[in-house]
């Protein structure tokens, strides 16, 4: 099954904004790009952004297939799970705060060349699996 990576993973710096008094915000966060030598401060962490892949097969025993997958770093999944458990334990739903039942992992914003590669690869995969459009 051919599988092609579309975007280059990046390392983001994620943290909570500082309030006027210097304390960490509980509602606003920021992201920035990691630079060599950056030091983490209170409430900040590195985030390895997801990577997009396009995979396809027209010889699969279960039939033809075309899939787009997102590879997420295990630490990001564990961090999200911890956040979900924390929010549920707070009982925010009882306080009238909506706690989402679905979460998403998103890549960094794709550049034009990455978007073009995604389109070209998806078309190549579609043609291999379903045949070319006329």
Q: Report the predicted TM-score, pTM, of the whole model to 2 decimal places.
A: 0.65
> Residue 62's pLDDT is what?
66
Q: What is the per-residue pLDDT across 63-101, written as a single tens digit (0 to 9) for each?
A: 788 889 999 989 888 988 888 888 778 776 666 666 677
Would strands 51-57 and 3-5 be described as parallel, antiparallel, or unpaired?
Answer: antiparallel
- How many Cα atoms are found within 13 Å in the side-chain-facing hemisphere of 10? 16
For the chain, the domain total comes to: 1
> Residue 27's pLDDT is what?
73
DSSP string, 100-111: PS-----PPPPP
Render each residue's pLDDT in the chain as its tens digit; 134 residues.
Answer: 788 899 887 777 777 777 788 777 777 777 777 777 778 877 777 788 889 999 888 775 667 888 899 999 898 889 888 888 887 787 766 666 666 777 778 887 888 999 999 999 999 999 988 888 76
Q: Which domain holds residue 41?
A: 3-130
């Amino acid at each position: 099954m051919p599988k092609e990576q579309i975007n280059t993973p990046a390392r983001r710096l994620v943290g909570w904004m500082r309030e006027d008094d210097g304390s960490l915000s509980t509602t606003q966060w920021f992201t920035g790009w990691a630079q060599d030598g950056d030091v983490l401060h209170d409430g900040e962490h590195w985030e390895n952004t997801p990577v997009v892949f396009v995979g396809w097969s027209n010889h699969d025993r279960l039939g033809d297939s075309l899939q787009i997958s997102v590879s997420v770093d295990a630490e990001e999944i564990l961090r999200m799970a911890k956040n979900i458990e924390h929010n549920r334990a707070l009982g925010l739903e009882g306080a009238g705060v909506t706690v989402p039942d679905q979460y998403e992992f998103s890549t960094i914003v794709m550049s034009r060349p990455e978007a073009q590669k995604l389109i070209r690869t998806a078309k190549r995969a579609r043609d291999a699996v379903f045949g070319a459009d006329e």
